[in-house]
Amino acid sequence: MTATPLEEVDVVDVVVVGGGIVGLSIGWRAAAAGRSVVVCDPAPGGGASRAAAGMLAPVSEARAAEGPLARLGLASLRRWPGFADELVADAGLAGTEDLGLRREGTLQVAFDDDDRRALEELAGVHRELGLDSELLGARRCRELVPLLSPMVRAGLLVPSDWQVDPRRVLRALIGALGARGGGLRAQGVRAVRATAGGELWGVELDDATCLEAAAVVLAPGVGVDRIGGVVADLRLPVRPVKGEILRLRAAPGDEVLPMTVRASVKGQPVYLVPRLDGEVVVGATMQEAGADTAVRAGGVLELLRAAIELVPGLGELALEETLAAARPTTPDNGPLLGPTSLVGLHVAAGHYRGGVLLAPVSADAVLAGLGAGEMPVEASPFDAGRYS
């Protein structure tokens, strides 16, 4: 330990490293379970969580080789309604619409025969995984989403894929954490420290103050490799995958899209996520770009071209925001969840494209490791030590 005057050391039950949707969810649930908690993040509520579209889409995102991840996503989706109700209550909100929770489903559409075959294959993957989806003809697609391009040939409706507005959820989590007595420090964590005997001691913050803690939870998004001390001894292979994402805005009262729409337009995957307040999120590019989070002109062009080809009326909306963020990604695309080999040190990292969806089940997995509740069975393939 570096020498720190004793009066500067706060002692808490749990320090959560990272104030994105996963870290804040864990902090809030731990505080609600009676633990004294501090969440540390230089920019709480920022990072990939603030960029995210907020799709709760384990079925639309399911891939054949990723059955365990789809099952983890479904387990989290099942938790979302209860999680949202409790969050609304603790944050003092009126209802789940204040979190932007919408349950209209997702329509994935096809432009040509190749796309249609891809949708049929996806429907087959869904059947194998026991997931619910329905192939539709072009006319039914346009009945559901009247502004779709006339070039759309077919669709796959996934009724159980929902959405929330991550920015509203983040604000609510910060409020709920405070309401449950949890603390938030706008500081990064530069090291997790152990005693000379090798037991977890606590964390050292960027401003050189320290927090002594019985448990530390690493939920830093892409920053895990910047944390020193005992973290450097763990193998937590999390790399950034950049995503550019846009926010458009319709005039108040104009409902451009009644549900989330996805497609691959001339090879560019795109999703359109409509909010009740007129925002339409257009996402997202995928790029292995290291630490770079600059928005490329070409990235904006690719997304707008695909979005407007899919729903031509989107060209009339205001372009309100362009943003890029780094998705924290592991070699198998699944998160790292639960305790590590150092007693008291826990992980909830590497959530890739699914941080918003997976926040409730990740919180339950970490809380189980903290002795509050049961480990979700669906979390067992995502053990934090599987790369050690």
Nearer to ligand GLY, 79 or 351 (CB): 351
Q: Which C-beta is closer to ligand GLY: that of 166 or that of 369?
A: 166
> Measured from the CB of residue 57, what is the shortest distance to ligand GLY in angstroms?
7
Q: Which is nearer to ligand GLY, 103 or 153 (CB)?
A: 103
Interface with ligand GLY (CB under 6 A), residue from 283, 299, 335, 338: 283
CB of 106 to ligand GLY, least distance (A): 12
- Count of residues that bind ligand GLY according to CB under 6 A: 6
Count of Cβ atoms closer than 10 Å to residue 294 Cβ: 10
35 belongs to the binding site for ligand GLY (CB under 6 A): no
Nearest residue (CB) to ligand GLY, 202 versus 240: 240
Q: Distances in Å between the alpha carbon of 157 and those of 125, 179, 324?
A: 14, 39, 29
Q: Are 57 and 260 in contact (CB under 8 A)?
A: yes
> How many angstroms separate the Cα of 54 from the Cα of each of 99, 137, 198, 265, 386?
10, 27, 40, 21, 28
Query: Least distance in Å: CB of 179 to ligand GLY?
Result: 29
Please report whether residue 47 would count as binding ligand GLY according to CB under 6 A.
no
- Integer CA distances (angstroms), 314 to 148, 164, 166, 273, 339, in order: 10, 21, 22, 12, 46
Question: Do 194 and 342 contact (CB within 8 A), yes or no?
Answer: yes
Q: Which residues pair with 226 in a beta bridge?
A: none
Expressed in angstroms, the distance from the first to the final Cα of the chain is 25
- 353 lies in the binding site for ligand GLY (CB under 6 A): yes
Q: Does 58 bind ligand GLY (CB under 6 A)?
A: no
Nearer to ligand GLY, 73 or 344 (CB): 73
Q: Tell whether residue 70 is a contact of ligand GLY (CB under 6 A).
A: no
Q: Cβ of residue 35: shortest distance to ligand GLY, in angstroms?
A: 30
Exactly one of 17, 22, 55, 205 binds ligand GLY (CB under 6 A); that residue is 55
The alpha carbon of residue 215 and the mean position of all alpha carbons in its chain are separated, in whole angstroms, by 23
214-273 residues near ligand GLY, rule: CB under 6 A: 243
Q: Which of 327, 338, 351, 368 binds ligand GLY (CB under 6 A)?
A: 327
Structure tokens at 199: 């037991």
Nearer to ligand GLY, 224 or 282 (CB): 282
Select 23 or 243, whichever has its Cβ closest to ligand GLY. Answer: 243
For the bound state, the minimum distance from the C-beta of residue 182 to ligand GLY, rounded and expressed in Å, comes to 27
350: nearest Cα among 225, 174, 214: 225
CB of 244 to ligand GLY, least distance (A): 10
In the complex, minimum distance from the CB of residue 340 to ligand GLY, in angstroms, rounded to a whole number: 26
CB of 67 to ligand GLY, least distance (A): 18
Here the tokens at position 174 are: 């910060």
Q: How far apart are CA 182 and CA 128, in angstroms?
A: 43
CB neighbour list of residue 377: distance below 8 Å, 6 or more residues apart:
none
Please tell me the distance from the alpha carbon of residue 260 to that of residue 44, in angstroms, as a whole number.
Answer: 28
Count of other CB atoms within 10 angstroms of residue 136:
20
**According to CB under 6 A, which one of 26, 31, 176, 284 is a site residue for ligand GLY?**
284
Please give the residue ranges that form the binding site for ligand GLY (CB under 6 A).
Answer: 55, 243, 283-284, 327, 353
